[in-house]
Chain A
């Protein structure tokens, strides 16, 4: 072991700065939503340990709900694995968009894999919103400080909710639940940097419900592929007409 040098200290400082961001709109909104998950898991008959382990290891609410409903409906292990695998495909493009933001050749590769575990809507939107304005060298410790603290806080919160909370009246749980889509919608818009990003968001908002009716099993995937590709093609076409490629912002 060596004494911490200046750069290690500064990593620790940025880690702590990231950790402090759990007092922020995205983190608080996720926590509000997860209070509901604690109650849901208990009502569904999951033990406390399984509820918390699932939260920390899956770390993506839609996939978590797919897993819990598979457990309760008596689905076989393989059927449940398949359903969760399909529900989580969206994490692939999200991670691919996240990696170039935090990548740093000076750091060991495992840190990148560790950071990727936290890719889910909240931390992804957080990364897309805040990291581009920060020096590359501090992005990874800052993000890891935020993400690990967020997971810890959520696990503690869900444990408390599981043990102590009676069910909320519907208007309270409904209002808590509604924060998630509204927050994501506004934050995602604010995070859009390339003109394709905002166009993709509009297409996704429209195509999500359309594919939900046409193809409920893979609705989100189809909406993402079609909406994202249409947005990309639209911006590319506009670029061609204006005499430049789609790569420029």
Chain B
């Protein structure tokens, strides 16, 4: 196992092609393998078959978990803002989205207004 992990890293081979090979092997291959597998496993599953309803629920919960992490545990510039401000902005954005008959644009606009307003007001 440790022999596997002692394979060269990004900066250990000094050749022009190595970074590109690295992107192919460590980026393209490990992401697209799941997509190709997804096409194979989807086979002839019907859209409303129980297995697919479950798979879609798992995919939806996964994406929702990513969303919640981006709001609660952001990196970069947002990390310096209070979590309460980000939560309030997201909640108000969602409320406006519902109030405008699911107008996605209005929801995003409202959330951004709250975030930027709060940011300026508290000078965080």
Contact = CB atoms under 8 A, between A and B. Distances in A.
Contacts of B71: 181
A182 B47 contact: no
Query: What bracket does the count of chain B residues touching chain A fall in?
Result: 35 or more
Given A80-B9, A84-B26, A177-B74, A208 B58 contact: no
A72 interface: yes
A141 interface: no
A180 B81 CA distance: 16
Contact of A112 (B24, B39, B74, B97): B39
Interface in A201-249: 201-209, 211-212, 219-221, 223-229, 231-232, 235, 245-249
Contacts of B11: 71, 74
A93 to B, nearest CB: 4
Interface residues of A, number: 110
Contacts of A160: none
A118 to B, nearest CB: 9
Contacts of A225: 58, 61
Interface of B: 4-12, 19-20, 22-39, 41-42, 45-50, 52-74, 76-78, 80-81, 86, 89-90, 93-94, 97, 102, 104-105, 107-108, 111-112, 115-116, 119-120
Interface of A: 25, 29, 36, 40, 46-47, 49-50, 53-54, 57-60, 62-64, 67, 70-72, 74-82, 84-85, 88-101, 103, 112-113, 116-117, 119, 121, 124-125, 168, 170-171, 173-175, 177-190, 192, 194, 196-197, 199-209, 211-212, 219-221, 223-229, 231-232, 235, 245-249
